[in-house]
Amino acid sequence: MDSGSIFNNNAIPAEYRKAAEKLFPANAAPGNKNPEIKAAEDFAFSLGIGTEYKRLFSLIKAHGREMNEFMNQFQNNLDLLIQKTWVEKADETRKEKLLSEIPGFISDIEKRNFKNALDQFALILNELAYLLFGAQSTREDFTEYTFRIDEQMGLFWWYSAQLTRLKEAAKEVKKQDDESLWAVLLIGICYLTNF
């Protein structure tokens, strides 16, 4: 997925641009800075998941029943989405491999290993994009294509492409700053749970 040209070609609709640029500034060099928690919350509202996001953000600290239920909902919805995706016979193994990746990602979230979870989530989203959109997901104009289908969906796939950039910045994150990684990961988790 293309991660860099979206700001240059104005594909992001104006009402989402400010939140997108706050979360992932266009001129920020990889490894330069991690997103701010408030920017993640604003972006979640742009995606239409802000209320749920805000409620769930603090739950990771509690490790309580509500967070476990939410992560189960995430896994069930993602599993269903993957299983219901029609693919060519040759891609069935991709589907099965993707299904097998989800429990490890959830385990890293539960252990608060957000750096590893970020790597896994970027891969999961890339594979999910391929299963949903086929070879189109590997083209440079993929994000623009998804914006033409639905603006919020396009914004989500733009976010997904930005996770690859964020992986470099996450290498510099100190343990006490992991909360910013959780803030960014939760955006995608909430979106897919409500997809």
CA distance 141 to 113: 32
Give the pLDDT of the chain (195 residues) as one tens digit per residue: 554 444 444 678 888 888 998 998 866 544 445 678 899 999 999 999 999 999 888 776 666 788 889 999 999 999 999 988 887 887 888 899 999 999 999 999 988 899 899 999 999 999 999 999 999 999 999 999 999 999 999 999 999 999 877 876 666 655 546 788 899 999 999 999 998
Q: What is the pLDDT of residue 31?
A: 47
Residue 100 identity (one-letter amino acid) = S
Cα→Cα distances 19→94, 114, 117, 129, Å: 33, 22, 23, 23
Would you state the pLDDT for residue 96? Answer: 92
Would you say 159 and 40 are in contact if contact means Cβ atoms under 8 Å apart? Answer: no
Asked whether the beta carbons of 79 and 102 are under 8 A apart, the reply is yes
Three-state SS for the chain is CCCCCCCCCCCCCHHHHHHHHHHCCCCCCCCCCCCCHHHHHHHHHHCCCHHHHHHHHCHHHHCCHHHHHHHHHHHHHHHHHHHCCCCCHHHHHHHHHHHHHHHHHHHHHHCCCHHHHHHHHHHHHHHHHHHHHHHHHHCCCHHHHHHHHCHHHHHHHHHHHHHHHHHHHHCCCCHHHHHHHHHHHHHHHHHHHCC
In terms of Cβ atoms closer than 10 Å to its own Cβ (0-12, 13-18, 19+), residue 90 is exposed
Cα–Cα nearest to 34, from 189, 170, 182, 156: 170
CA quadruple 116, 97, 125, 129: dihedral, nearest 10 = 160
